A and B are shown apart, each in its own frame.
Chain A
Amino acid sequence: MYQIIQKERLNEQIYSMWIEAPQIASVVQPGQFIILMIKEKGERIPLTVADFNRKEGLIRIVFQVVGKTSEELSTLSEGDGLYSFIGPLGKKTEIKNYGTVINVGGGTGIACIHPIARALKEAGNQVISIIGARNKDLLIMEEELKKVSSKLIITTDDGSYGQKGFVTQVLKRLLEEDNSIKKVWAIGPAIMMKVTCETTRPFPVETIVSLNSIMVDGTGMCGSCRVTIGGESKFVCTDGPEFDGQLVDWEEFMNRLIRYQEAEKKSWAIYHKESHHCHCEGRK
């Protein structure tokens, strides 16, 4: 069992947990992910590491409730244990001094860019972070990002906080203003990463994305996570999760992300029916 040491609700849908996993914490690097199972009958889900504490042997995960497993995970409390927790998986982010870099984060992707931004800053980069959400209430980890960035820009779709608009609008302006920027990381929902790559395409900048494919083992054994990169089939779990976003076949990637949608909906609906967390049905 892997104990939940600390749990925090970051907003209505997003949770943060620190999990006791000393072996993983001792070697994990920014950009890598873990795979967890809540219980023996559970599924294996990959989550990018949001932070780690080597001294205390802890790994931080940040997740959004999007289905049965994530909702069930959100109901666990401090002191509860996870059935399985493996990692660190995937390749680490290539950290070096690039000069000025931009990190773009959306949704739980904000958590994923956190350790990357920190490492980039420690490596001497000028780190500009742009984080966005639909509105102020949905924004997460502002303080943490501020600490690890040279500059933090916030956008909200409705203008309730920071600049009104999308992260890509800010990104475009920054790239137009400063042509010395050579590297951008964009992590968030698939559509946001795709649009970010469209934004950066005209500029002489490399755009790294972190793909969140559906996986089973996460060690290169099954190929569930395969994706076409520059015309070649790659495994996100062992060749990634980070890739040059301009080479990703986004249509294929997004199709494969929803290939179990029907089953996932069914499983979530049954969970709601059976669990006591939702009392809306059948009560008149």
Chain B
Amino acid sequence: MAEMIPTKERMKREQVAMPEQEAQERIHNFQEVPLGYSSEQAIYEAQRCLQCKNPSCMKGCPAEINIPRFIQKIVEEDFQGAYLEILKTDNLPAITGRVCPQEEQCQKYCVLEKKKKPIAIGRLERFVADWARKNKVHGKLSTNIIKGKKVAIVGSGPAGLTCAADLAKLGYQVTIFEALHKPGGVLVYGIPEFRLPKSIVEYEVKEIENLGVKVVTDIVVGAAISVEELAQEYDAIFLANGAGAPRFMNIPGENLNDVYSANEFLTRSNLMKAYAFPEYDTPIKIGKKAATIGAGNVAMDSARTALRLGAEKSYIIYRRSRKEVPARAEEVHHAEEEGVIFKFLTLPIKVLGDEKGNVIGMECLKMELGEPDESGRRRPIPVPDSNFVIEVDMVIDAIGTSANPIVARSAPGVENNQWGYFIINEETKETTRAGIFAGGDIVRGSATVISAVGDGKRAARSIAKFLSSGGSLKN
């Protein structure tokens, strides 16, 4: 029986720090930065949980995990029980345990947050998922098989995988169509190995396949097959193809050789494993001084990847100030530890190149903060005649994505808004065409893995409701 620790003692304890690879060591490799809790650390941390009668942490979890219950299982040293508890609702625990911004979600609502030491819920989730993987503990298969009801899912990112797994658990036959040669979407092409090892993504995708989900790679929906054709063959469809088109600054010099979109830079490095060139065939070009434009999580990933690939200096160029940085605090902290240099209140206006098309610098303007804009943040305003040149030889645009129209064009009756994102009913995730649902970045624009997971769950519920009440696209 688990040791009962008096509340006073629990409150006294500090959050268990995450063991990490040293900054100076890790900038030379692509191995994971946080190393994970040991069993002892996990139990010690789990014991801090107050097991609130009305737990508020859960309202911050789009994956709907019963957080106190799985933490209690850790306290009881029943790691298998903890895993099965998480798996009831979250199909990607080793992934969400790593990449969720917990400080904005579950941990934000933890009562101990008031004392600035919330339970490290994400770290505990990660511990449990890693333990299960090492100890070959698997979820239960559905014994309930619903024959003759087929669901097609477009895209194998977090939204698609979650929706597929939830439907498979209910007994539906699900096929996921993936355009790339590997499943996982942003989990494999976007998030770097040092934040999310690809072997873990592969494992959790396999676990979902083991639930009976079929994953077909190399099929570009909208090119090889249209949504309309899928609608003739499947009873319901979930569109989760991601936002997927890179945004550029639209400044002169942006098509020079050494200017990358973050999507290209990260896809080369992560999906194609250019960091292991020439063992892998895809090359990547790294300058001595890399400038990443933007300050979101993708920008942090890019700047940190550039360092690991051999850049001597890696800058983050951001037009607002430190206060407005949209990336997770942890990502900014890691980037700074690794030596990424932040240039705030700086707006690039021109990329400079030589006659061969190589980047030799970037012209920028100094900015100052004015009145708040529609986002509530103070609007950056250029300081007149403040032009200066920063010496760089590669540039990565990490200023966001927009909707890729390739899937939408093949989906008659499914309407988009003015930015090309699908219009949906927020509650049900249904598009303007009955039986076709949508979620993830192709609905909300670039967001987080966990919001995509939340969309996938909600869509699965609506699809099940649609199908069980006799609905079908084939009708």
Contact = CB atoms under 8 A, between A and B. Distances in A.
B223 A252 contact: no
Contacts of A223: 246, 248, 261, 263-264
A243 B406 CA distance: 19
The 5 A-B residue pairs with the shortest CB-CB distance, nearest first, are A255-B357, A263-B283, A222-B264, A43-B281, A84-B181
B279 A221 contact: no
A203 interface: no
A30 interface: no
Q: Which of B225, B246, B278, B280 has the most CB of A within 10 A?
A: B278
Contacts of A259: 257-258, 285, 357
A165 interface: no
A42 B180 contact: no
27 contacts: A42-B281, A43-B281, A44-B181, A68-B281, A84-B181, A84-B217, A86-B218, A89-B220, A217-B267, A219-B179, A219-B220, A219-B223, A220-B404, A221-B189, A223-B263, A233-B254, A233-B255, A255-B356, A256-B255, A259-B257, A260-B285, A263-B277, A263-B278, A263-B283, A263-B284, A267-B277, A267-B283
Given A217-B267, A219-B179, A86 B220 contact: yes
A221 B248 CA distance: 12
Interface in B249-273: 250, 254-258, 261, 263-264, 267-268, 272-273
Interface in B403-430: 404, 406
Interface in B274-305: 277-285
Interface in B214-255: 217-220, 223-225, 244-246, 248, 250, 254-255
A88 B220 CA distance: 8
A266 B283 CA distance: 10
A221 B404 contact: yes
Given A221-B246, A223-B246, A227-B255, A43 B282 contact: yes
Given A86-B220, A238-B406, A222 B281 contact: no
Interface string A245-284: 0000101100110011001101100100000000000000
Nearest to A264: B283
A260 to B, nearest CB: 5
Contacts of B179: 86, 217, 219
A169 interface: no
Contacts, number: 118
Contacts of B189: 217, 221
Contact of A216 (B223, B250, B264): B264
Secondary structure class of chain A's binding surface, majority of residues: mixed
A69 interface: yes
Contacts of B267: 216-217, 221-222
A83 B272 CA distance: 13
Nearest to B277: A263
Interface string A35-47: 0010001111000
Nearest to B226: A27
B269 to A, nearest CB: 11
Residues of A in contact with B, size category: 35 or more
A252 B358 CA distance: 11
A87 B225 CA distance: 10
Interface of B: 179-181, 189, 217-220, 223-225, 244-246, 248, 250, 254-258, 261, 263-264, 267-268, 272-273, 277-285, 356-357, 404, 406
A224 interface: yes
A222 B261 contact: yes
Q: Which of B223, B250, B258, B273 has the most CB of A within 10 A?
A: B223
Contact of B219 (A23, A227, A263): A23
Given A86-B223, A252-B255, 12 more contacts: A41-B281, A43-B280, A88-B224, A89-B220, A221-B189, A221-B246, A221-B263, A222-B246, A249-B255, A259-B357, A263-B284, A264-B283
Given A233-B255, A255-B357, A219 B404 contact: yes
A87 B224 contact: yes
A58 to B, nearest CB: 15
Contacts of B180: 217
Contacts of A256: 255, 257, 357
A83 B220 contact: no
Given A44-B272, A260-B285, A83 B255 contact: no
B273 A41 contact: yes
A226 interface: yes
Given A223-B263, A256-B257, A37 B279 contact: no
Q: Which of A219, A221, A263, A264 has the most CB of B within 10 A?
A: A221
A53 interface: no
A24 interface: yes
A88 B223 contact: yes
Contacts of A270: 278
A64 interface: no
B404 to A, nearest CB: 5
Contacts of A83: 181
Contacts of A219: 179, 220, 223, 244, 404, 406
A85 interface: yes
A228 interface: yes
A44 B181 CA distance: 10
